[in-house]
Amino acid sequence: RKEVEQDPGPFNVPEGATVAFNCTYSNSASQSFFWYRQDCRKEPKLLMSVYSSGNEDGRFTAQLNRASQYISLLIRDSKLSDSATYLCVAETGTASKLTFGTGTRLQVTL
């Protein structure tokens, strides 16, 4: 089982739609989680950190479910500019490293 798993997509949604991605992690010792956004062939950029209590930043909401070992990202009112690959990241504390998922591709269309 991969340490961090994501559905690769693509998720094709119309502008204005709400879309959600899940990401599962295998290491129950993981403590820090992040969502990054990556545009084609560019560097990943932090979208948001994921806190235990969940957090919201504008149209984006991130949730953590420790019992089921997954994190989620919800995007409301999708914009064309949201089209990108979304990377889930878990910190595996005992190994002192970050593990990236392979990403979920989102395509928002008119």
Partner 1 sequence: EAQVTQNPRYLITVTGKKLTVTCSQNMNHEYMSWYRQDPGLGLRQIYYSMNVEVTDKGDVPEGYKVSRKEKRNFPLILESPSPNQTSLYFCASGQGLKQPQHFGDGTRLSIL
Side chain identity, residue 74: L
Among 15-23, 50-58, 70-78, 94-102, the segment contacting partner 1 (CB under 8 A): 94-102
- Per CB under 8 A, contacts with partner 1 among 44-83 are 44-46, 49
> Where does the chain show beta strands of DSSP type E?
4-6, 11-14, 19-25, 33-38, 45-50, 55-57, 60-65, 70-75, 84-92, 97-100, 104-109
| Closest separation in Å from C-beta 13 to partner 1 | 22
Which of 40, 67 has the CB closer to partner 1? 40
Dig out the tokens for 6 from the structure. Answer: 């994501």
Q: Which of 19, 37, 86, 103 binds partner 1 (CB under 8 A)?
A: 103
Question: For residues 50 and 69, what is the distance between their CA atoms, to the nearest angstrom?
Answer: 13
The token pair that represents 12 in the structure block: 């094709």
User: By C-beta, is 12 or 31 nearer to partner 1?
Assistant: 31
Q: Which residues bind partner 1 (CB under 8 A)?
A: 31-32, 34, 41-46, 49, 87, 91, 93, 96-103
